[in-house]
Copies of this chain bind each other. A is one copy, B any other.
Amino acid sequence: MQKSAEVDATKEAVKRIFTEYLERKTQRKTPERFAILDEIYSKKDHFDVETLYVQMKNRNYRVSRATVYNTLDLLLDCGLVIKHQFGKNIAQFERAYGYRQHDHLICNMCNKVMEFCDPRIQQIQSMMGDLLHFNITHHSLNLYGSPKIDKDGKCMNCHKEVNIKKQ
């Protein structure tokens, strides 16, 4: 119960932030927008637009792709969602509130995304901002690597058959 109470608290918090943002920008507080926000904050994983869209369909919530894209733009703008491009042409998103700052390690074999943290990145970021006279708004650090493969040719991390994909 503890866990779901936490989830609820987070959902309430982001709902408040989004409401405030929409009011400030004089944008409409439509049910679709809050349904999308809620869906995103129902899980921690990275997701792409199609996955989110299908998930909402499966929950019998009728939204169009256009609205999903539109709402994601708003959520990006108010910082509740982060957008990634892990080397391919499918944008990946993840929730940005109530979760520690982190970066990503992407498996060359199975494309699985892992997270890690290193304070030095923040240092580099602020140092380079000062040096080049920029206000750094965000960053993206991705490490790409191959895990060791066991004798059956399976990834030692995800334990799946290895099928190498092009970058």
User: When the two chains form the complex, which single residue of B76, B118, B147, B148 contacts A128, counting CB atoms closer than 8 Å?
Assistant: B118
- A58: interface (CB < 8 Å): no
Which residues of B sit under 8 angstroms from A91, Cβ to Cβ? 89
Question: Number of contact residues on A: which range applies?
Answer: 35 or more
- As a 0/1 sequence over residues 68 to 82 of chain A, the CB contacts with chain B under 8 angstroms (1 = contact) are 000001001000000
Q: When chains A and B are docked, how far (Å) is the Cα of A121 from the Cα of B24?
A: 39
Known pairs A145-B129, A145-B134, A145-B135; A87 contacts B85 (CB<8 A): yes
Which residues of B sit under 8 angstroms from A120, Cβ to Cβ? 120, 123-124
- As a 0/1 sequence over residues 102 to 141 of chain A, the CB contacts with chain B under 8 angstroms (1 = contact) are 0001011000001010101101110111011111111111
**Nearest CB of chain B from residue A3's CB, rounded to whole Å:** 26
Q: When chains A and B are docked, how far (Å) is the Cα of A74 from the Cα of B127?
A: 36
Copy number in the complex reads: 2
Main secondary structure on A side of the interface with B: mixed
Which residues of B sit under 8 angstroms from A22, Cβ to Cβ? none
- A17: interface (CB < 8 Å): no
Known pairs A133-B156, A140-B140; A105 contacts B128 (CB<8 A): yes
- Identify which of A83, A120, A134, A136 gathers the most chain B CB atoms within 10 Å of its CB: A134
Q: Can you offer 6 A-B residue contacts whose CB atoms are under 8 A?
A: A83-B87, A85-B88, A137-B146, A140-B141, A140-B142, A140-B144
